Amino acid sequence: MPTACDILKRREIVFHPLPPDQLEAALGLLTQLPGVRASRLGPLSAEIEYCIAEHSLEDIENLLWAQGFHLEGSLLIRIKRNLAYYVERVQRENLGKPAPRTKNYPAHIEAWTKRPHGDHDETPAEWRQYK
Give pLDDT, residue 82: 95
Give pLDDT, residue 7: 87
Position 125 in a domain: no
Give pLDDT, residue 112: 64
pTM for the whole structure? 0.68
Position 118 in a domain: no
Position 107 in a domain: no
In three-state secondary structure terms, 85 is helix
What CATH number did the domain enclosing 55 receive? 3.30.70.100
Position 129 in a domain: no
Task: Give the residue among 61, 54, 64 at the shortest CA–CA distance from 85.
Answer: 61
Q: Which domain holds residue 22?
A: 4-94
Position 33 in a domain: yes
Report how far apart, in Å, the C-alpha atoms of 113 and of each of 101, 103, 120, 122 are: 21, 17, 12, 18
Position 49 in a domain: yes
Rounded mean pLDDT for each run of 10 residues along the chain, 131 residues in total: 72 93 93 94 94 93 94 95 94 77 65 66 74 62
Position 110 in a domain: no
Position 115 in a domain: no
The tally of domains found in the chain comes to 1
Give pLDDT, residue 125: 75
